[in-house]
Amino acid sequence: TSTLSGKTALVTGSSRGIGRATALGLAREGALAAVHYGRDKQAAQQTVDLIEKDGGRAFAVGAELGTPGAVDQLFHQLEAGLREHADETVLDILVNNAAATTPAGSVPEEVSAEQIDEIFAVNAKAPFLLVQRALGLIPDGGRIINISSAVTRMAEPSQVVYAMSKGALDQLTLHFARHLAPRHITVNSVLPGLTDNGSAVFQMPGAREQMSQLSAFKRLGEPEEVANVVVFLATDRSRWITGASLDATGGSLLG
Ligand code: NDP
């Protein structure tokens, strides 16, 4: 069944990883997907190609979040793409997925003020501005889904700034859920645990083995497994859930 046919969706950072799987999942349910990327246009085009091969519809939009004018740039392309592929500029589903991460092995004592600004700009400020800007396009019954992280619930000192920024993102979920309820727009967070996004660190056997221990199932998550939760939140079936954080960690927080 195509639970999202006739709907449109923007997934930030869907050139790869969880974002790509999410754009694929939403398109598989019938949504027209705007595939956003920061730097890797080619990878975004690959996502679009994968969706089309799968019988879905998509187009790419590029903007480096955290830089001046990025949100305007993104919406300019989004509106043009919607006009071309869907006639009207309605956005039913916004998924704030793009994020900047702290380099592995960083210690809190060595984080610079500039790094803090950059991470907050991409992970917290940009999603706020995207929601604010999207509200003009989101109809009653729309969906906003913010991709947070399990590190908001589990101490990991090397990720303190990243976790702070995701904590801020969860506040966006909480307060906008109340604000948008009169319009039946739901706002929720999804908390992935360690998920194999294809990057090098997840391919190193030793590191992979060690990271797998975190989940109760003793393996890494797959992007599709997180995407499935996002797709559920995007559908009408989730209409009674708002302001919530859904755990997509494979039991990593069970203790
Ligand atoms: P990836 O690192 O695989 O992909 C990141 C995506 O975000 C890319 O599409 C990238 O686009 C985009 N992006 C990054 N920075 C910017 C920017 N400044 N402007 C625009 N786009 C940007 O991410 P994951 O799939 O691993 O993660 C997806 C989400 O899940 C993130 O919010 C992350 O914090 C969260 N998460 C991931 C976990 C994991 O283990 N993988 C664990 C917990 C949470 P491009 O390359 O084109 O610039």
Output the CA 179–ligand 1 centroid distance in Å: 27
ipTM of the complex: 0.99
Residue boundaries of the structural domains of the chain: 8-246
Output the CA 17–ligand 1 centroid distance in Å: 7
Pocket test for ligand 1, best of 12, 61, 123, 149 (most atoms within 8 A of CB): 149
**Which atom of ligand 1 is the closest one to the Cα of 150?**
43
Provide the pLDDT confidence category of residue 238 given band limits of 50, 70 and 90.
very high
What is the CA angle 118-21-45, rounded to 5?
A: 75
Is 97 close to ligand 1, i.e. is its CB under 6 Å away? yes
Q: State residue 1's pLDDT score.
A: 56
Q: Whose CA is nearest to atom 9 of ligand 1?
A: 13
Angle 223-234/17-28 helices, nearest 10 degrees? 50
pLDDT reading at 6 higher than 70: yes
Task: Quote the percentage of the chain above a pLDDT of 70.
Answer: 100
Burial of residue 140, with CB atoms counted within 10 A of its CB: 0-12 exposed, 13-18 middle, 19 or more buried? exposed
Is 214 close to ligand 1, i.e. is its CB under 6 Å away? no
Catalytic residue (choose from 37, 59, 75, 162): 162
Output the CA 13–ligand 1 centroid distance in Å: 6
This prediction's pTM: 0.98
CATH architecture of 8-246: 3-Layer(aba) Sandwich (3.40)
Q: How does DSSP assign the chain, residue by residue? A: --TTTT-EEEETT-SSHHHHHHHHHHHHTT-EEEEEESS-HHHHHHHHHHHHHTT-EEEEEE--TTSTTHHHHHHHHHHHHHHHHHSS----EEEE-----PPTT--GGG--HHHHHHHHIIIIIHHHHHHHHHTTTPPTT-EEEEE--GGGSS--GGGHHHHHHHHHHHHHHHHHHHHHGGGT-EEEEEEE-SB--S-GGGGSHHHHHHHHTTSTTSSPBPHHHHHHHHHHHHSGGGTT--S-EEEESSSTT--
* 162 catalytic residue (yes or no): yes
pLDDT reading at 104 higher than 80: no
Provide the pLDDT confidence category of residue 108 given band limits of 50, 70 and 90.
very high
